[in-house]
Amino acid sequence: MTGAGTRAGARGGVGVSVVAGVAGVALLVGGGSVGPRAYAQAPASGPAAPPAAPPAAAPVLTPAVTGGADGLPTAAGLTAALGQLTSDKALGTLTFAIADGGSGKLLLGSGETTPSTPASTTKLATTVAALSLLPADTRLTTKVVHGATPADIVLVGGGDPTLTGLPVDQIRIGGSPVDADSAPASLIDLANRTATALKAAGVTTVHLSYDTSLYTGPAAHKFNDGTNIGPMSSLMIDEGRVDATQDMDAPVRVADPAAQAVAKFTDLLGAQGVKVDGKPAQTQAPANAAPVAEVRSPVLPRLVERLLTNSDNTLAEAVARQVAVAQHQPVSYDGAAQAVTQTLTGLGIPMAGVSLNDGSGLNVHNTIPPVVLADLLALAASPDHPQLRPVLTGLPIAGLTGTLDKRFVAAQGSADGAGVVRAKTGSLSGVNTLAGTLVDADGRLLSFALMTRTPADATVARAAMDRIVAKLVSCGCK
Phi/psi at 163 (5° precision): -45, 130
Catalytic residue among 103, 105, 116, 120: 120
- Please report which residue ranges of 331-403 form alpha helices under DSSP H: 333-346, 370-381, 389-393
CA angle 244, 213, 230 (to 5 degrees): 35
The answer to whether the beta carbons of residues 120 and 424 sit under 8 Å apart is yes
- Please report which residue ranges of 120-224 form alpha helices under DSSP H: 122-133, 187-200
Catalytic residue among 116, 209, 233, 311: 311
The answer to whether the beta carbons of residues 342 and 351 sit under 8 Å apart is no
The answer to whether the beta carbons of residues 214 and 154 sit under 8 Å apart is no
Catalytic residue among 103, 116, 123, 471: 123
Burial label for 30, CB within 10 Å (0-12, 13-18, 19+), is exposed
Closest CA relative to residue 131, chosen from 422, 383, 380: 380
How far is the C-alpha of 168 from the C-alpha of 261, rounded, in Å? 17
Active site residue 120: yes
Q: Is the dihedral of CA 110, 113, 117, 123 positive or negative?
A: positive
One DSSP character per residue, 276-342 reads EPS--EE--PPTTPPEEEEEEPPPHHHHHHHHHHTT-HHHHHHHHHHHHHHTT--SSHHHHHHHHHH
How far is the C-alpha of 293 from the C-alpha of 265, rounded, in Å? 13
Active site residue 311: yes
Phi/psi at 24 (5° precision): 85, 10
Closest CA relative to residue 378, chosen from 16, 119, 79, 114: 16
Active site residue 429: no
Which are the contacts of 292, defined by CB distance < 8 A and separation ≥ 6? 143, 144, 145, 146, 153, 193, 194, 197, 198
How far is the C-alpha of 222 from the C-alpha of 262, rounded, in Å? 26
Residue type, 240: G
Q: Which sequence positions are flagged as catalytic?
A: 120, 123, 311
